[in-house]
Amino acid sequence: MDVLWKKGPATVSQVVEGLPKRIPLAYSTVLTTLRILENKGYVAHTKNGRAFTYRPLVEREQARRNAVAHLLRRLFGGSPELLMLNLMESGKIDAAELERLRRRIAEGRP
């Protein structure tokens, strides 16, 4: 999805080329992933000659919200508090980030 958000509509080959080189993925793996994303309503394709051109149907922020909601339901019983506690206890949030979160909570805004 990141490649499609950055580049816009792209063929499978263009997506493969846009992926980080440190994690080599086969064309067939990327194609399978794009098909799964299409079945889930995240991307759509159009036929362009012999190739399919894929485009994102959801914005990055909406995809993030969907992913977090899924994570909350599946792993944290729907509890944002448990997710935050897990992040804090694992050391994934540093002191500066924690302070920014405190200020935002105190201000009553996301």
Q: Which residues of 8-41 are buried (b: 16+ CB within 10 A; e: fewer)?
A: eebbbebbbeeeeeeeeeeeeebbeebeebeeee
Residues 9 and 52 in one domain: yes
Residues 48 and 35 in one domain: yes
Residues 33 and 74 in one domain: no
Confidence of residue 101 (pLDDT cuts 50, 70, 90): confident
Residues 46 and 70 in one domain: no
Two tokens, residue 43: 């991307």
Residues 68 and 48 in one domain: no
Residues 39 and 78 in one domain: no
Q: Of 19-23, 69-73, 83-87, which has the strongest mean pLDDT?
A: 69-73
- How many domains does the chain contain in total? 2
- How far apart CA 91 and CA 69 sit, in angstroms, is 22
Residue 56: HSE in the Cβ half-sphere, 13 Å Cα cutoff: 15
Full residue range of the structural domain in which residue 14 is found: 2-56
Residues 70 and 38 in one domain: no
Q: What is this structure's pTM?
A: 0.75
